[in-house]
């Protein structure tokens, strides 16, 4: 019987010994405060006058006014031109330009002074198109900097004809 008490006591002591914490913590070895930093030499401060700006070539030029790059005779609507609204222009258009055809997409999403637009499969100036706007009977296409790259006039219900700044004929139809 006494053997049972000794065995039970020994089991209790062994089980309590397993509850003792023996794990290692890397934070126990750290000092409570970091060592103070040593002062470093500082070079003397100098003052001089800044040189003048690099001139006009330092900054990009502002976009030209929409009519500045246009031929004055081309900015006036042809006598046969029909009235046009922005709502009539929204959507997908088939473009005939420089002997080939491509797609133009026009939205009413604002972008600068115009609305967002773009092309797919086009060449030349039309690859830079970023926006468009209606001005009287004329629809102007602009690059991403706001410069006019072309203009068209409504010549039939679903047809617009005009030119790009380089003089290439440009036609839109659906």
What does the angle CA 35 – CA 41 – CA 44 come to, to the nearest 5 degrees? 150
| 3 vs 82: which has the higher pLDDT | 82
Contacts of 139 (CB under 8 A, 6+ apart): 84, 89, 132, 133, 151, 152, 153, 154, 160, 162
Name the β-bridge partners of 105.
92, 118
pLDDT digits (tens, 9 = 90+) for 100-121: 899 999 999 887 778 999 999 9
pLDDT digits (tens, 9 = 90+) for 45-76: 777 887 776 654 555 555 444 333 334 334 56
| Domains, the chain, with CATH or none | 81-173 (2.40.128.10)
* pTM score, whole prediction: 0.55
Q: What is the mean pLDDT of residues 15-44?
A: 70
């Amino acid at each position: 019987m006494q053997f049972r008490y000794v065995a039970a006591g020994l089991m209790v002591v062994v089980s309590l010994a397993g509850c003792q914490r023996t794990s290692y913590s890397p934070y126990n070895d750290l000092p409570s405060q970091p060592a103070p930093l040593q002062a470093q030499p500082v070079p003397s401060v100098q003052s001089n006058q800044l040189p003048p700006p690099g001139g006009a070539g330092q900054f990009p030029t502002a976009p030209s006014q929409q009519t500045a790059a246009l031929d004055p005779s081309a900015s006036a609507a042809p006598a046969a031109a029909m009235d046009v609204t922005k709502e009539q222009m929204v959507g997908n258009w088939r473009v005939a330009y420089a002997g080939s055809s491509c797609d133009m997409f026009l939205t009413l999403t604002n972008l600068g002074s115009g609305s967002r637009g773009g092309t797919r499969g086009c060449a030349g100036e039309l690859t830079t198109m970023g926006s468009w706007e209606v001005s009287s009977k004329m629809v102007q296409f602009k690059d991403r900097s706001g410069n006019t790259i072309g203009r068209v006039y409504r010549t039939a219900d679903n047809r617009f004809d005009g030119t790009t700044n380089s003089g290439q004929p440009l036609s839109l139809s659906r």
